[in-house]
Amino acid sequence: MAVTCVKKAGLGLMGLVSTELILSAGTHANIQITRSTVRVFSFIYTQQSDTLTPEQAMAGPRPVVMSGPSGAGKSTLLKKLLKEFEGVFGFSVSHTTRSPRPGEENGKDYHYVTREVMKAAIANGEFIENAEFSGNMYGTSKAAVQAVQAKNMICILDIDMQGVKNIKRTDLNPIYVSIQPPSMEILEKRLRDRKTESEESLQKRLHAAKVDMEISKEPGLFDVVIINDDLDVAYGKLKDAVLEEIQKVRDANKS
């Protein structure tokens, strides 16, 4: 049976956006989980009626922060995880000002909004944290993490390196996982095989990836760094990293 994860966009105070995202965990294996610059729950609240207290938010299972350059294989690993452990994970979908790529759907891959809407929402405190990449803004609402944890599911946050460092300054207490490619050469081939970006955009991603790979070596930044040169081995390491939280969810669901 598919388990749904509901996320309110969290922009209602400004009257800007009022949407709900319903993710069916049983269908995640068939959807494209693209690079998300997902932002984190910092427990700094605006006055919203549906806001959880820090104690309520921390009562759920620990979130999993996934980071790594585009093309490292995060999406493939996440799909496998969501397929094997149906109903255990909730995937937080971010907002962005970029245009949808072919095959992407609003509310599934991202919530696509204008720059004006995004800026106003950020100014209103609706976004926990945000960043700009290649001329586009990315971010997520507080409600994204709140809703997942409230349902006793493990919230997956797919974020960039800047976001990881910002999370370190919050009370979220996630498991930090870095997914890295075997080499820059292999990463470049993977990105070129996608055929989804201009040469200029590709070069920006490769530059960002090189920086990402270096920063990921910083001691203490991640709980586990996984080199994705063998999908099955990489997936086994990812499962090992989150197995304790998976068991917590299963035990809670039995009680």
Looking up residue 81, the CATH number of its domain turns out to be 3.40.50.300
Kindly tell me the sign of the dihedral angle through the C-alpha atoms of 239, 243, 246, 250: positive
Kindly tell me the sign of the dihedral angle through the C-alpha atoms of 92, 94, 100, 106: positive
Alpha carbon separation from 33 to 76, 89, 110, 120 (Å, rounded):
8, 14, 9, 27
Please name the helix (run of DSSP H) or strand (run of DSSP E) that holds residue 158, with its range, or none. Answer: strand 154-159
Q: Does position 189 have pLDDT exceeding 50, yes or no?
A: yes
User: Which of the listed ranges 28-32, 51-55, 164-168 does the model predict with the highest average pLDDT?
Assistant: 164-168
How high is the pLDDT of residue 59?
56
The single residue of 115, 169, 194, 250 carrying the catalytic annotation is 194
* Residue 194 falls in the annotated catalytic set: yes
The number of distinct structural domains making up the chain is 1
Q: Which of 43, 87, 90, 83 is nearest to 63 (CA)?
A: 90
Q: What percent of the chain has pLDDT over 90?
A: 47
Average pLDDT over residues 221-228: 97
Average pLDDT over residues 137-147: 78
The least confident of 15-19, 58-62, 158-162 is: 15-19
pLDDT tens by residue, 42-95: 222 222 333 444 444 455 789 999 999 989 999 999 999 999 999 999 877 788
The least confident of 18-32, 105-119, 202-216 is: 18-32
* Residue 35 falls in the annotated catalytic set: no
- C-alpha triplet 31, 102, 34: angle, nearest 5°: 45
- Angle between helix 199-215 and helix 184-194 axes, rounded to 10 deg: 140
8-state DSSP, 70: T
> 186: domain range?
4-254
The single residue of 101, 115, 169, 250 carrying the catalytic annotation is 101
Beta carbons of 135 and 150 less than 8 angstroms apart: no
* Residue 205 falls in the annotated catalytic set: yes
Kindly report the pTM of this predicted structure. Answer: 0.68
Q: Which of 37, 48, 65, 252 is nearest to 151 (CA)?
A: 252
